[in-house]
Amino acid sequence: MATGTTGKALEDSRPMTADDIKIEFAKRQNQKYPKKAEFNPDELEWIQLNQELSDSRMVGESSQDKLFRKLTDNPWIPAGCLLTTGFLIKGLFAFGRKDNAKSQFNMRGRILAQGFTIVGLMVGLVYNMRKEKAAKDASANPI
């Protein structure tokens, strides 16, 4: 049985309609580009890890509670940020008034305040690490 250019048998004298062409095109596309396997997000390890970590995080803590906890864990960081911001704003105003001496003084003070913030961050990290280790040791060795 010979086929014509439209893919239908020559004996079939009925011309192809638009629907027939669409069906034929869809068949050829499926043959040429077979469908890929369905995507399963459960197979990705990082999604499972993120779900496990989110389950272990503090539950029921509001944003205000979290902010207060973070501020009490390391109060030097907000103090350093406030100092840095204060020096920066004063320095910018002095720069705007063309007072080079005060502008230079405040920019140097900003650098010192940033250093204070970094040192405060490091001190807070060491303090919290020691506090957690002491709590872990106390729970592991009850007296």
User: What is the 3 state secondary structure string of the chain?
Assistant: CCECCCCCECCCCCCCCHHHHHHHHHHHHHHHCCCCCCCCHHHCHHHHHHHHHHHHCCCCCCHHHHHHHHHHHCCHHHHHHHHHHHHHHHHHHHHHCCCHHHHHHHHHHHHHHHHHHHHHHHHHHHHHHHHHHHHHHHHHCCC
Residues 85-141: pLDDT tens digits? 999 999 999 999 999 999 999 999 999 999 999 999 999 899 889 988 888 888 877
In a domain, 83, yes or no: yes
In a domain, 18, yes or no: no
In a domain, 21, yes or no: no
In a domain, 82, yes or no: yes
Structure-block tokens of residue 63: 């944003």
In a domain, 33, yes or no: no
Q: What gap in Å lies between CA 88 and CA 113, rounded to an integer?
A: 10
In a domain, 56, yes or no: no
pTM of the full predicted structure?
Answer: 0.52
Give the per-residue pLDDT at 114.
95
In a domain, 116, yes or no: yes
Structure-block tokens of residue 75: 């109060």
User: Which residue range(s) make up the domain with 114?
Assistant: 62-140
Residues 8-32: pLDDT tens digits? 554 566 788 888 898 998 888 888 8
Per the CB < 8 A criterion, the answer to whether 6 and 16 are in contact is yes
In a domain, 92, yes or no: yes
Domain tally, the chain: 1
Rg (C-alpha) for the chain, rounded Å, is 35
